[in-house]
Amino acid sequence: MTDIVVDTHLGWRDVAAVAEGARLRLSEAAKQRINNARAVVEAIVDRGMRAYGVNTGVGALCDVVVDRPLQRQLSHNILMSHATGIGAPLGAVETRAIMATAIGNYALGHSGVRLEVVEALAELLNADVTPLVPAKGSVGYLSHMAHIALVLIGAGRARVEEKIVAGAEALAAAGLVPLELGAKEGLSLVNGIPCASGLASLALKRAERALDWADAIAALTIEALMGNPAAFDAAALSLRASPSLQAVGAGLRDRLAGSGIIAAGAGRKTQDALSLRAVPHVHGAARDAFAAAADVVSRELSSVSDNPAIVGTPEAPGVHSEAHAVGAAMGLALDQLAVAVAEVAAMAERRLDRLVNPLVSGLPAFLAADSGVNSGFMIAQYAAVSLVNENRRLSLPASLDGGITSALQEDHLSHATPASLKALTVIENAEAVLGIELLAAAQAHEFRREGRAAGTDRLYRQLRTVVPSYADDRPLADDMALAADLIRATAPA
C-alpha cells in the first residue's frame, strides 16, 4: 500500500486509507509549518502573553492564569482529567482514522505542538500500535483524543499485536519513549474535531460502497420480480432535473440490459410498486446527501480546528481565541448522511418483503422450495425490519442534542462526534439489510428459468462464490454475515 503523505492537508479518502492500514508521513513543508507554529508558542510563553490553554486554565477556568513553571504540568493534567471515555473501545480502524486526522490538523501549522509530538503519533500508526479509546462519553471532541494522547506520555493502554498493554510498553513496541509535554500541547492533543472528521471519513468510505451495492442489488431484485423497466427510461428520467437520479437510472438500465426475465414479464404490469419504481429517486437523493456530506468533510479536513489558533511569527506572535473546535457543520452533515443511508436501507427492506411474499412475488412463499417444511427467508426479513427500525431511531439528529457543560462556558454543543459514530452504526445496519436483500434476490433467481442480464448475472455469481443457494440446511445468520462482509469489503461486480 502506498504511503499517504501529509503535505497541505489530508482528504477523506486519505484518512480512510490510513485507517485501513496505509502508512502516514509528513512532508518537509508540513514539518516546517509545525516547527514555525511551535516557535510562536515559545515566543508567547517568553513574553507572558495571555493565551487560552497556554498559560491559562481551560473551559470555565480560562481566566485563571497559570505561571510558567506549571505550564508543563497543565498540559499533563489536561490529559489525565479529560480521559473520561466510557464503555467498549473503538475498533482499530476507527482509532487510526482519528489519529490520522489529528496529524493532518497539526500539519496545517496553527496548533503549536512540537514536531516530535506529531511524529510520535505517526510512528504509532506506522507501527500498528493502537491506543485503546472508549467509544462513549464525548459530547464533542475531548475524551477520545485524551485517551490517544495518554499513550504518548506512557500512560493509558494500547493494542499491540492483538494484545492489550500499558502505554509505556506500547511506546516501546514502536521504538519510542514517553514524551514530556510542553505549554499548550496538552490542550492541542485533546482539542479540535479530529474525532468527528476522522470517523466521518470512514462513514463516507463505507456509505459510498453501500450506495453502489444498493443500486446493483435493486437491479437484481427488480429482475427477479419481473419488474417493468419503463420507469427507468432515459427520456422519462430526464424530465427530473437531478443528475444523481439520472445516473442511478442509467446504472439500472445497464444492469438490466438484455434480460430474458424482464422480457418474459413484459406487458404484465403497468407500473411497479414504489420500492422498485422509485429506486432512481430515492437512491439518487441519497447520493446527493452523500455528496453534500463529502463536501463538508473535505472542507473541515482542510480547516484549522484548534482553539486557540497560533498565528504570526516569533517576532510578532499572535493567538486567536475562537470556536473552531465546534463541529456544527460536521454534525449536521453526518446527521443528513445517516438519514439518507437509513432511507436506502428501509427501501431495501420493502423490496425484500416483496421477494418473500408470495402474494406479490409470483415466487414460492419465503423463497423456500418446500414451503411449510422449510421457512426460507421468512425470519431473515424480520431481522431486516429490526435493523431498519433501529436506524429510524438512530436517525434522530445528534446535532440537536442539548447539554450545558463547564459551568456555562460550554453552553452550546454540536455533538459532531456522536453524529459520526451514529452514522457509522446506521451504515453498518444498512450493509446488513442490503446483504439480506442480496441473498433473497439471488435465491429468487433460483426459481427463474429465463436468462439473467449480464449485469445482474455478474452480481449473482459474485455472491455465489461465497454463499451457495439456501435450503434450510444451515443457520441463515452465517450467510447473512457473509453477505454483509462482501458488501463491506468489495465493490459490486
Q: How confident is the model at residue 323 (pLDDT cuts 50, 70, 90)?
A: confident
Region 345-354: mean pLDDT is 98
Claim to verify: residue 430 and residue 460 sit in the same structural domain: yes
**Three-class secondary structure of residue 45 per DSSP:** helix
Contact 471, 374 (CB under 8 A): yes
**CATH code assigned at 316:** 1.20.200.10
Beta strand 317-320 with 309-312: parallel, antiparallel or unpaired?
Answer: antiparallel
Which position has the higher pLDDT, 46 or 27? 27
Q: What is the pLDDT of residue 139?
A: 76
457: alpha, beta or left? (left if phi > 0; alpha if psi -120 to 50): alpha
In this structure, what DSSP letter does residue 371 have? B
User: Last residue of a domain, which of 131, 165, 191?
Assistant: 191
Q: How confident is the model at residue 475 (pLDDT cuts 50, 70, 90)?
A: very high
Tell me: pLDDT of 45 over 90.
no
Provide the number of structural domains found in the chain: 2
Claim to verify: residue 151 and residue 168 sit in the same structural domain: yes
Q: How far apart are alpha carbons 86 and 56 in whole angstroms?
A: 28
Tell me: pLDDT of 71 over 70.
yes
| Residue 24: how many other CB atoms lie within 10 Å | 23
User: Last residue of a domain, which of 191, 223, 254?
Assistant: 191
For the stretch 400-442, pLDDT in tens is 877 777 666 676 677 888 999 999 999 999 999 999 999 999 9
Q: What is the pLDDT of residue 328?
A: 86
Q: What is the pLDDT of residue 268?
A: 87
The alpha helices in 67-140, defined as continuous H runs, are 71-82, 92-107, 115-126
Claim to verify: residue 234 and residue 156 sit in the same structural domain: no
Claim to verify: residue 135 and residue 248 sit in the same structural domain: no
Q: What is the pLDDT of residue 1?
A: 66
Contact 12, 200 (CB under 8 A): yes
Tell me: pLDDT of 8 over 80.
yes
Q: Which domain holds residue 148?
A: 4-191
Claim to verify: residue 249 and residue 359 sit in the same structural domain: yes
Contact 452, 256 (CB under 8 A): no
Tell me: pLDDT of 67 over 80.
no
Q: How confident is the model at residue 10 (pLDDT cuts 50, 70, 90)?
A: very high
Contact 24, 4 (CB under 8 A): yes
For the stretch 83-92, pLDDT in tens is 889 999 999 9
For the stretch 373-403, pLDDT in tens is 899 999 999 999 999 999 999 999 988 877 7
Claim to verify: residue 163 and residue 129 sit in the same structural domain: yes
Q: How confident is the model at residue 324 (pLDDT cuts 50, 70, 90)?
A: confident
**Three-class secondary structure of residue 316 per DSSP:** coil
Q: How confident is the model at residue 369 (pLDDT cuts 50, 70, 90)?
A: confident
Q: What is the pLDDT of residue 196?
A: 93
Claim to verify: residue 320 and residue 391 sit in the same structural domain: yes
Q: How confident is the model at residue 162 (pLDDT cuts 50, 70, 90)?
A: confident
Cell numbers placing 161: 499485536
330 to 89, 184, 203, 245, 299: CA distances (angstroms): 22, 25, 12, 25, 10
Q: How far apart are alpha carbons 179 and 156 in whole angstroms?
A: 13
Claim to verify: residue 158 and residue 210 sit in the same structural domain: no
**CATH code assigned at 56:** 1.10.275.10
